[in-house]
Structure 1
Amino acid sequence: MVDTHGPSTNTPFWNINVPPSQHTTDCPSYLRYAFKNDKDRQILSTPDSEYRRQSWQEVQQIIHDNRLDLFLRVPSDLRRYREYCEKLVEQYGTVMSFVMKERLRWGDVVAKGKAFECPDDYTILYNDWPYGIDSRIVHLVIWNKVDHPSEPITSTNPNGDLTPEARKQINDFVDETFASVCGKENVIWFKNWSSLKSIHAIEHFHVMLFDPDREFVERITHGDVPLAEKVGKAGEIK
């Protein structure tokens, strides 16, 4: 039997971090997936006040160990993320369609050149729904029309890691674009495993910057603002 309650309360997980006046008897449709997802159900069962953000050192270790599954979102942010994704699917058909049309404003994903050669082939934006990490860490996503090929999935490479050439291309780009400004010790990047990708059809990887100059971030993202800062609170998202 699935435990639907928070760790120290009789309140069902879908009512945690929600004002009592907005509690519901039934689980909202956008959170029903959590009945079969132990990790997310545990997060959603945690009051925001008990959540501890992951430090820069922890973030670096998670990426170094390739344990991307250990990244977490603030409980109320996870709830808003799932609610917003459901509404995007209702309106656009898929999250990918929304990203292409509204965030990237790309008509196609046909590259004009090789990796990072043409500025029109890639875009740097905020991660719309960042993890629950130290608030000084800026989480960006580099969307690319050029594929970054991975090695075939095998017993020794179960996650399909990048080819050496692709990894070098990204490393060089990250060093030139971010580390040269923020300092190599304040920059780290990763690419989600296929099993963790929320958007499969558009090539992208993640860059995290520790306490960067905000004017630099504004310039490189062309003044982008993450969706998490635009949409309403849980239950108020439109």
Structure 2
Amino acid sequence: MGSVSDLPFWQVNIPENERTEECPEFLNQLSPKDIGIIGTPDFLYHRSTWSEVQSIVAENRLDAFRRVPSDLRRYLEYTWTLKRDHGSVMNFVLSQRLHWEAPVAPRGNPFEFDDDVKILWNDWPYGIDERIVHLVVWTKFDLAEDPVTTDLTDEARAAIDGYVQKKFGSRVARDRYIWFKNWRSLKSVHAVEHFHVMLFDPDPKFIDEITNGDIPSCRKV
């Protein structure tokens, strides 16, 4: 039997009796970055520590986030299946995760009404310290971006800061939570506005409370 380095990328992290000769359809046409990740044995993967996560966000190096190789494979198979069965990831998120009807429209100004916001687990979190909880805050309203830089406007950033401090800062120490909004090129769902919140080792009861007992999809499949 050859070493892991001799295997095609799609056979890495797969039990020998489950390996296929041909590359599965859901792994066709991947970027070199994703091929490199999936072709890496899980035991060689380094999970980002909380201090590393803080640095990545502070330095706006969001493309440095990676999933554990076997999790990325599962994620790609899962999203491929969603597109096949629901037409798009967005359709699934709207109907099965958010339970919002399209077209999505807010009831008021940003963060004015609770029902314009929904907090859920990230269905497929990055490869980070397992004590870190990765949530997604979905909003029915847009979060304004500068048309030139595509970064958030100062007003939008201040609004998110205020919301995050009120929602999370009242229950979690300031150095134990952080938020970021993915670059447009990194988003998997473009049509529904959202940003990310990560918390280090928070009280599970608090997470159940703010997510209404949500369970991420990665734990269901």
Partner of 2:63: 69
2:164 is the alignment partner of 1:174: yes
**Structure 1 portions without partners, runs of 5+:** 1-6, 232-238
CA shift, 1:52, in A, is 1.2
CA shift, 1:98, in A, is 0.2
Partner of 1:100: 94
CA shift, 1:38, in A, is 1.6
After superposition, what is the alpha-carbon deviation per residue over 1:79-113, rounded to whole angstroms, capped at 9, x for unaligned? 00000001100110000000000000011311101
Q: 2:84 aligns with which of 90, 93, 113?
A: 90
For residues 32-181 of structure 1, what are the structure 2 equivalents within 5 Å?
32-34=28-30, 37-108=31-102, 109-153=104-148, 157=149, 160-181=150-171
CA shift, 1:33, in A, is 2.3
Percentage of identical aligned residues: 52
Regions of 4+ moved over 6 Å: none
**Contact 2:181–2:194 (CA under 8 A) maintained in structure 1:** yes
> In angstroms, what is the RMSD of aligned CA positions?
1.0
What amino acid does structure 2 have at the position aligned with 1:14?
Answer: W
Partner of 1:236: none
Give the distance between the partners of 1:197 and 1:138, measured in 2 at CA. Answer: 19
**Structure 2 portions without partners, runs of 5+:** none
Q: 1:186 aligns with which of 169, 176, 188?
A: 176
**Contact 1:179–1:186 (CA under 8 A) maintained in structure 2:** no
Give the distance between the partners of 2:29 and 2:52, measured in 1 at CA. Answer: 28
Give the distance between the partners of 1:19 and 1:74, measured in 2 at CA. Answer: 17
Count of residues paired in the alignment = 218
Secondary structure of the equivalent of 2:170? helix
